[in-house]
Amino acid sequence: MLKKLFVTAVLLLAALSFVVSLLKGNNNKDISLNVTECVAVIDIVGPITSGGTGGSVLEQVNGTGSRDVMQQIREAAEDISVRALLLNIDSPGGSPTAAEEISEELLKFKAVSKKPVVTAMGDMGASAAYWIAAAASDKIYANGTTLTGSIGVYMPYMNVTKLMEKIGVTSGMIKSGKNKGMLSPDREMTEEERAIVQNIVNEIHEEFIRVVAEGRHMDGQQLRSLADGRVYTGKQAKNVGLIDEVGNYYDALLEAGKLGGISGMPKVKRREKPTPWETLMGAEIVTAVKTQLLKHLQTGFEGELGTR
């Protein structure tokens, strides 16, 4: 009996919290929706991947998807209240394809909207995250202890043949060409396959160097000596020209507002974070439930008024 009462109470609390979360307003003080002049802030946090990060708990990824960022960039370009864009980066990097997508969208944003872009780095702004920052930022800020740079590319692979032999496991592969399955972990890579992969890595690395050199207005040869994959602290990066200023988020925000013609600390517009229920069930489902719930509440309220 007690167990049944406990389960019932938990379910009632969960239902109540769900309804409250649907009906409550936006309490995030860092989001300004009705302002005449502001800076749009886009958070790029965690590993950077291509596509979206998903809406439900089963799809949710602890990172940033390129499609989500590109959509926010386009929204900022069309929003007349947005005077500048601030990239708030705290990421070790990720997919070079995702970095390329976001960078191209940022360059289009600047070309079409004529709005400035500033980057603020937290703990990290390295590899693909630095690619994004360097491509289109008018100014890059990092803390003195931020780890940034890491201008390099790698493609991991694994060889577990000795382990498989030890436990008595064999594997095989039926393939259409000699180089199909060249990163398979159950055999040694051939020299030809290694050369193919190395050429791919080198090509992407050259593109990385080109993007940074153009974005930072640096000589390619000078940059090449810095682009061996190492990370730099914010202070070191400032000394070699990879960032512009050592400063925190609010220093970068103030500069973004200044470049956008806003005096003083600007108001901020940033996408509202999903509620726990949106993460669990998916934003589209929660929106549909919220719409129906509000409709029923309104109908019931109007019915009460009609009977009085």
* Pair 144, 158: CB distance under 8 Å: no
Say how many residues make up the chain: 308
Looking at residue 80, the DSSP 8-state letter turns out to be: T
Residue written as token pair 């043949």: 161
Assess contact for 259 and 138: CB atoms under 8 A: yes
Say if residues 66 and 102 touch (Cβ distance below 8 Å).
Answer: yes
- Integer Cα distance of 31 and 212 in angstroms: 32
Contact in structure between 131 and 152 (CB atoms under 8 Å): no
Q: What's the DSSP call for residue 32? A: -
Nearest-5° Cα angle at 266, 263 to 267: 145
Within 10 angstroms of residue 13's Cβ, the number of other Cβ atoms is: 10
Residues 6+ apart with CB under 8 A from 279: 55, 56, 57, 60
Write phi, then psi, for 162 (nearest 5 degrees): -65, -40
Residue whose pair of structure tokens reads 């990370």 in the numeric block: 231
Q: Establish how many alpha carbons lie within 13 A of residue 198's alpha carbon, considering only the half-sphere containing its beta carbon.
A: 7
Positions marked active-site: 127, 180
State residue 149 phi and psi, 5-degree precision: 85, -120
